[in-house]
Structure 1
């Protein structure tokens, strides 16, 4: 009897892992109970979670760059920034690599990443390129887009005004790009929107400089141009549209 029990115990010990493996493979074993096994986490889910963390860190770093928390010319290491955000160095390093492709930082071997210092000449060059791309598109849209469509963009212009009034640099940067992206999206050209957004983002490192009150005043003036531009687009005043867009690009980062 004891020998039979030992034999049964042995069979159970061997059979349970076999059944568990079969269940994990989706197989069915007839006549025997299947031991439930916790489903393995699909590789895609791990990738999604990792990308989500990297995306959150990327947004946080962009906000820190625009807000001046990461100073131009300074070098920051991924491990130190990881501690700051409560994550490992890996998502920070991946986010920094993305920022490097955008021109916001540059890689410093064995040290980390240096925040790019934008000269007045570089910002002027970006403004010129943006004007070359966007002014003709906006003039064409001003001739063809109905007034009602322009009015639909008013909440975006108002959102930028609210962010500017609060002196929230990061929030204003997002609202500013959202407004311009919505305007250009009316062209139906996704490649144009993507290229313009990349140039726009590059022009925001740093967004503005100087004392806080001066920065807020620049943002408020910049946001007011959004509303003025909408009004000119509604009435199809092409001269005002062209003038406003060119001045806007040369301003606080608009």
Structure 2
């Protein structure tokens, strides 16, 4: 058996790494970390009130998700996503998700669909509470949960990867304008149509939702986001 103290230390290090990664994702979503800019691990560590090691480890996690890229001897650059990239990601998602939603509407039981209702309601709640990271997490779980009912794990993985690469920019601005709640409520509309067995309606709703999300990206990118001081880990 290994040393219990060593195991406890490793667990604590992993937990800190996860906390830092969560904080970095929050800063990305809020627009505090800007696309194209290079940030050093020591500099970010000072902002977050921690050492540089968990920041580097967390940044490597984000690099695997395509959110940042290492820059030798400098730190990490926040990856830039062009309008063309966003258009292509949206097109791919529509090609996959719209027909899959139609198939799930036909195949899934009402019980299976209703199990996802708390997730759809959580998206709306998170939007109303201005919890942006919680909103994105609930949104991801709901969409991937619906797609999982089609029984194709690779399809779910593919859409999950597309979602990471087409992350929202300047979500804070959209939240301040109150536009996030309307987008969140579309998830309940989609679920109601699926429960009712309205295949065409569900597919149309999914297509509209993806179109709305794309337009939100465009609006967010058009409005500059003022930098905000990052909170130290553990602060509220």
Q: TM-score, normalised by structure 2?
A: 0.80
Shift of residue 209, structure 1, vs aligned partner = 6.9
- Rg comparison, structure with higher value: 1
Q: Mark the CA change 1:251 to 1:49 in structure 2 (over 3 Å): closer, same or farther.
A: same
Cα RMSD between the aligned structures?
Answer: 2.4
Identify which of structures 1 and 2 has the higher relative contact order when contacts are C-alpha pairs closer than 8 Å and 6+ apart: 2
Give the Cα–Cα distance (whole angstroms) in 2 for the partners of residues 232 and 205 of structure 1: 26
Shift of residue 65, structure 1, vs aligned partner = 0.8
Aligned residue number for residue 165 of structure 1: 128
Give the Cα–Cα distance (whole angstroms) in 1 for the partners of residues 168 and 35 of structure 2: 9
1:234 to 189, 192, 195: 195
1:108 to 71, 74, 84: 71
1:155 to 118, 142, 153: 118
Any stretches of 5+ residues in structure 2 without a counterpart? 217-236
SS at structure 2 position matched to 1:87: coil
State the number of aligned residues: 215
Any stretches of 5+ residues in structure 1 without a counterpart? 1-24, 26-38
Shift of residue 166, structure 1, vs aligned partner = 3.0
1:98 to 46, 50, 61: 61
Contact 1:163–1:172 (8 Å) recurs in 2: yes
Matched, 1:252 2:213: yes
Contact 2:105–2:197 (8 Å) recurs in 1: yes
Give the Cα–Cα distance (whole angstroms) in 2 for the partners of residues 76 and 132 of structure 1: 36
Q: Mark the CA change 1:191 to 1:49 in structure 2 (over 3 Å): closer, same or farther.
A: farther
1:45-98 per-position Cα deviation (integer Å, ceiling 9, x unaligned): 443332222222112211211122222232211111122223221121121122
1:88 to 39, 51, 55: 51
Give the Cα–Cα distance (whole angstroms) in 1 for the partners of residues 65 and 170 of structure 2: 15
